Chains A and B, each alone.
Chain A
């Protein structure tokens, strides 16, 4: 009994850090979200007004929807591309290490650098992509990549996918490394094709890697701020305006700390809810397989 109690005592430092640096700020933010605080001076209580404004204005509901849709696009694409490259590299050990490092390089670059490089590539005036298309005789495919509201979100998403494919690939390669070689050899002896071995042997065994990859990329993407901020600043006309950009604009553009806090709490609830549901669904799926 005493041993069990002493175990709890050892958790105190971790709990203290967690409370001080995570729980306490969240409580302060929640408290601030019921005020009209401007970042300085007195904070006047306004009740539920900030939350009422969020749910009664299309602008903020649109931002929530764009954030969720962007997350679906990015997480789906990252999972598929990461797994594709991991599956290929798993079968090509000679180039695996080099390719893994090359794929991971964009993830190590600063968001600001990546954002500005892609901004020039996407530029409608002599941008790299349009010029390349023109030179290849594909001028008809030229687009206003960041200026067309129907296209801008996907252009921003593509940049994020390019940046983090190496990250998910590394997770899946670790998953592949954990699959016993005998399973693949047994499949080969039974005459399974490469695709069949992947689909029926490797994919089910990659369940834990999929769970880790999807949850990490989902949380990261829901909080995405840098790329849409640098590439489009939420434009054109709000087409890429995510919740994170709304929060920053309200905080430092308009000094609405109270309202931005309410938006942050909404974001926190969304991240927690999505992560909880994903975790539950993916863990259940792992248990079934």
Chain B
């Protein structure tokens, strides 16, 4: 009896000691919920198995709520141990001194894609471990294209206009070109020359959109698409790009949809939807232009209570096999050089364009274009679609004014 008592007490003591030694790693992210698991449940399990003294407590906070939830915690000295950030949050929180420098001496830093490394490094500091770059281009319904006698996703302007004419002749709606996001992708892909990317100069007001031949030609290119019957501009102007447009593509009502690769999971779950993800046709390249959006990453707040465990979490993602789980679930590319391809075969046209170097980093995700310009692009391009005959200057001047206003 006494022996049982002592044994039980000793066991309880040991267990209590173990529990006390357990570190609870507080991780906040806008991925990892049921709708967008991003491989995190699997990765957390693996991380905890590799680090038995750490319990990961993942809190899902929607991106739009992060701005409300995290700043009070950062300012009150009670931040999460690790938080998901994007480039604008790195600039804001890092600039205010709330994020740790993860050090340019880190093993993974030197392996970053140079363009990503360049935009993520501020004053010699790297305050984020980037997780992904996400492609943006055209989703192409190959069955609808086949009905028009085309077997290849269009990657040049000529191929796109030819496809539009053929689809239109068959009575198939060729393209979604909603005035906001989808139209922006085309205008950006035809206004930014990948061989001489001057986005930062536009953002700093050193170059003018009105005087730029490329952006003028880009708007002219939209008129060419209208002439090729790709879409009815007035009909597209008010189309919702996030709900209605993807639904139309999923329903097989339209052949081409400019959108982001984050839709791959949703589209692939639709039975019978045979599609490819292709780069945006651009006058600058015969391969189509891959528009890479620099996605989120992990950051460690300066006052993180468990900084050492947080560092282990970041380093865990720096291992290629772990990061690949995340990338495969996300339908995204690695921000690091080399490594195993994680994108599905349906994204081959996009991947090929990237491999040929026909890509740009989307300037709104690298902050080369300031945030206010994005809403002005959306508004002004919608206005342009509503009055396609207006001079280019009317649209482009609004962009210049926004830049000037933001300086």
Residues of A within 8 A of B (CB): 38-42, 116, 119-120, 123-126, 144-149, 152, 232-238, 249, 251-255
Q: Which residues of B contact A149 (CB under 8 A)?
A: 386
A255 and B96 within 8 A (CB): no
B71 and A238 within 8 A (CB): no
A237 and B380 within 8 A (CB): yes
Describe B's contact surface by its main secondary structure.
helix
Given A149-B386, A236-B238: A253 and B375 within 8 A (CB)? yes
Q: Check if B216 is an interface residue, CB within 8 A of chain A.
A: no
State A145–B238 Cα separation when bound (angstroms): 8
Given A120-B244, A235-B179, A237-B383: A252 and B67 within 8 A (CB)? yes
Q: How distant is A82 from chain B, measured CB to nearest CB, in Å?
A: 29
The 4 closest A-B pairs by CB, nearest first: A147-B238, A41-B96, A237-B383, A146-B238
Q: Which residues of A contact B67 (CB under 8 A)?
A: 39, 251-252, 255
State A29–B95 Cα separation when bound (angstroms): 23
A144 and B253 within 8 A (CB): no
What's the interface size class on B, roughly? Answer: 35 or more
Q: Mark B363-407, 1 if CB is under 8 A from A, else 0.
A: 000000001101100111011001000000000000000000000
Q: B179, B243, B375: which has the most chain A beta carbons within 10 Å?
A: B375
B234 and A123 within 8 A (CB): no
B234 and A148 within 8 A (CB): yes
24 intermolecular pairs with C-beta atoms under 8 Å apart: A40-B71, A41-B97, A124-B235, A124-B239, A125-B239, A125-B248, A126-B248, A147-B179, A147-B234, A147-B236, A147-B239, A147-B386, A148-B237, A232-B238, A233-B180, A235-B238, A235-B382, A237-B179, A237-B382, A237-B383, A251-B67, A253-B374, A254-B372, A255-B88
Residues of B within 8 A of A (CB): 64, 67-68, 71, 74-75, 88, 92-93, 95-98, 173, 179-180, 234-240, 243-244, 247-248, 253-254, 371-372, 374-375, 378-380, 382-383, 386
State A144–B247 Cα separation when bound (angstroms): 18
5 new A-B contacts, CB < 8 A, other than A39-B71, A146-B238, are: A119-B243, A125-B253, A235-B379, A254-B371, A254-B372
Q: Which residues of B contact A236 (CB under 8 A)?
A: 179, 237-238, 382-383, 386
B253 and A126 within 8 A (CB): yes
Q: Which residues of A contact B382 (CB under 8 A)?
A: 235-237
State A276–B95 Cα separation when bound (angstroms): 44
State A149–B244 Cα separation when bound (angstroms): 18
State A22–B146 Cα separation when bound (angstroms): 63
Q: Which residues of A contact B253 (CB under 8 A)?
A: 125-126
Contact of B173 among A38, A125, A145 (CB under 8 A): A125
B379 and A238 within 8 A (CB): yes
State A147–B179 Cα separation when bound (angstroms): 9
Q: How distant is B378 from chain A, measured CB to nearest CB, in Å?
A: 7
State A60–B98 Cα separation when bound (angstroms): 33
B64 and A252 within 8 A (CB): yes
Q: Which residues of A contact B180 (CB under 8 A)?
A: 233, 235
State A39–B302 Cα separation when bound (angstroms): 17
State A239–B173 Cα separation when bound (angstroms): 27
State A249–B383 Cα separation when bound (angstroms): 19
B244 and A119 within 8 A (CB): yes
Contact of B375 among A41, A152, A249 (CB under 8 A): A249
Closest to A125 in B: B248
Q: Which residues of A contact B93 (CB under 8 A)?
A: 40
B237 and A125 within 8 A (CB): no
State A152–B238 Cα separation when bound (angstroms): 9
Q: How distant is A230 from chain B, measured CB to nearest CB, in Å?
A: 9
State A124–B237 Cα separation when bound (angstroms): 10
Q: Which residues of B contact A41 (CB under 8 A)?
A: 92, 95-98
A237 and B95 within 8 A (CB): no
B92 and A38 within 8 A (CB): yes
